[in-house]
Amino acid sequence: MASVKVAVRVRPFNERELSMDCKCIIHMQDNKTSIVNQHQTLSHMTPKEFVYDASYWSFDHTDSHYVSQLDVYQDLGKMTLDSAFDGYNACVCAYGQTGSGKSFSMMGLADSDQLQGLIPRISKNLFCTINSGQCQQTTYRCEVSYLEIYNEKVRDLLRSKDKGLSENLKVREHPKTGVYVQDLSQHTVVNYDDVDELLTRGNHNRTVASTQMNEASSRSHAIFTVKFCQAKMVDNFPSETISKINLVDLAGSERADSTGATGIRLKEGGNINKSLLTFINVISTLADMSGEQTKKQYVPYRDSVLTWLLKDSLGGNSKTVILAAISPADVNYAETMSTLRYANRAKNIINKPTVNEDPNVKLIRELRAEVGRLKLLLESSGISAERALLQVQSEERLVEEIGVGERRLNDLTNEWKYQKDSEKEVTYVKSGEKEEKFTKI
């Protein structure tokens, strides 16, 4: 069990807020964020305080407390990467009003190393760790996918145009492996340059438009996923984990009057708000369920494509961080207050992360445990209590079963090794060795 981590980040004033001579209504100290309602009478102007796992002050870069892109990575990004290396699914999901800084935190500015966001930094450091040679015996396989949900339809941001697949992909649910997008392209990557190339392509394909609130407003929810597989031999037995890192940049919640939206933009805004409403409903239901006395409730995951795809990340098998982005300006008081309230509720969500072991390796581990148990039984056959058992199961029979088990164990282990070796030549990166050795498919 692990509660969802929640962090809040405030950005600097934008041009619009500066031209409107806005006041900063946000204050942060340690992990506390407070907000003042400037429109209340002075005597009622008591700030409302919220405590989160982290509060990031990025209002003024000349301030000594200024939280940079690197700081956010070192706090949230590193934690996410560590979870993936430990074999868990991990997720960072940026939420907040339009123009509040979600894309800046997740993607950042492509033309400046310093201003890169969590997605490029996590990807870069993933390969840095792999190539640092810390885990000499481990081989790694990384695959990425990038999709957007636009007007409730799923689109592959990395699909080559000539594939002839339908524009809108179907979301399906597998009883064992969970929710997935049918026909979503998966791309094997062996170094950061590969990821960078795909990110550039995907970002170029993403639906972005100019609104009054944000010159480059994301009109879709985007999910960049890294599927990360680690394989090694431990005490002569295979060990293999598969983790999924979901990096989510949600479209911003918006009010038609402040975005000045009409026509297509208005329809987009309606769809964005609809799926965000479901997102909020899911958060609220899960937060209610975490109360000890509350019974299991129906969680409306399937009410939107967004929440259906994030089912594991919200209340399921994942270590999840929600990054709530906010504006510092008094004109955005209502939206900021609502973001802070939902972020506060999200702290109560309890997830159930588990180490994701490869099913074949799990079988080998279970078989090994069974052979161990039988051997122990054989060894202790001299003890009287065990004799009773051996009456039913003769000693010879036990020896035979151990033999069969060991042979099967050997076969499965060799099969696994063979499979990893053949995959390694094309798609794996081996720690400590130069990447060029491994050609891509």
Ligand X SMILES: Nc1ncnc2c1ncn2[C@@H]1O[C@H](COP(=O)(O)OP(=O)(O)OP(=O)(O)O)[C@@H](O)[C@H]1O
In degrees and rounded to multiples of 5, residue 15 shows phi and psi of -55, -45
Comparing C-alpha atoms, which of 163, 164, 168 is closest to residue 149?
168
Tell me the closest approach of the beta carbon of residue 108 to ligand X, in angstroms: 8
Helix ranges (DSSP H) in 45-117: 69-72, 78-85, 102-106
77 binds ligand X (CB under 6 A): no
Among 55, 80, 83, 100, binds ligand X (CB under 6 A): 100
Are 188 and 427 contacting, i.e. CB atoms less than 8 angstroms apart? Answer: yes
Residue number with the smallest Cβ distance to ligand X: 252
Comparing C-alpha atoms, which of 39, 123, 47 is closest to residue 84?
123
Q: Identify which of residues 100 and 427 has a Cβ nearer to ligand X in the complex.
A: 100
Tell me the closest approach of the beta carbon of residue 250 to ligand X, in angstroms: 7
8-state DSSP, 332: G
Q: Which stretch binds ligand X (CB under 6 A): 18-26, 93-101, 145-153, 369-377?
A: 93-101
150 binds ligand X (CB under 6 A): no
Q: How many residues bind ligand X (CB under 6 A)?
A: 19
Indicate the SS3 state at residue 121. Answer: helix
119 binds ligand X (CB under 6 A): no
Tell me the closest approach of the beta carbon of residue 326 to ligand X, in angstroms: 9
Residue 27 φ/ψ region, left for φ over 0, alpha for ψ in the -120 to 50 degree band, beta for the rest? beta
Beta-carbon count within 10 A of 125 CB: 18
Q: How far apart are CA 139 and CA 125, in angstroms?
A: 16
Q: Identify which of residues 98 and 241 has a Cβ nearer to ligand X in the complex.
A: 98
**211 labeled part of a ligand binding site:** no
Tell me the closest approach of the beta carbon of residue 310 to ligand X, in angstroms: 17
Q: Which stretch binds ligand X (CB under 6 A): 24-32, 92-100, 307-315, 412-420?
A: 92-100
**CA R_g for the chain:** 26
In sequence order, what are the beta bridge partners of 96?
Answer: 325
- CA dist list (Å): 382 to 2, 303, 378, 387, 396: 46, 62, 8, 7, 14
- CA dist list (Å): 400 to 258, 365, 406: 77, 20, 10
Residues 300-359 that bind ligand X (CB under 6 A): 325
Tell me the closest approach of the beta carbon of residue 152 to ligand X, in angstroms: 17
Among 125, 151, 218, 241, binds ligand X (CB under 6 A): 218
**108 labeled part of a ligand binding site:** no
Tell me the closest approach of the beta carbon of residue 251 to ligand X, in angstroms: 5
Tell me the closest approach of the beta carbon of residue 431 to ligand X, in angstroms: 34
Among 77, 120, 238, 252, binds ligand X (CB under 6 A): 252
**98 labeled part of a ligand binding site:** yes
58 binds ligand X (CB under 6 A): yes
**87 labeled part of a ligand binding site:** no
Site string for ligand X, 370-409 (x = CB under 6 A): ----------------------------------------
Q: Identify which of residues 264 and 350 has a Cβ nearer to ligand X in the complex.
A: 264
Q: How far apart are CA 411 and CA 240, in angstroms?
A: 17
Among 6, 13, 14, 189, binds ligand X (CB under 6 A): 14
In sequence order, what are the beta bridge partners of 142?
Answer: 189, 228
**230 labeled part of a ligand binding site:** no
Q: How far apart are CA 3 and CA 196, in angstroms?
A: 32
Binding site for ligand X (CB under 6 A): 11-12, 14, 58, 96, 98-104, 214, 216-218, 251-252, 325
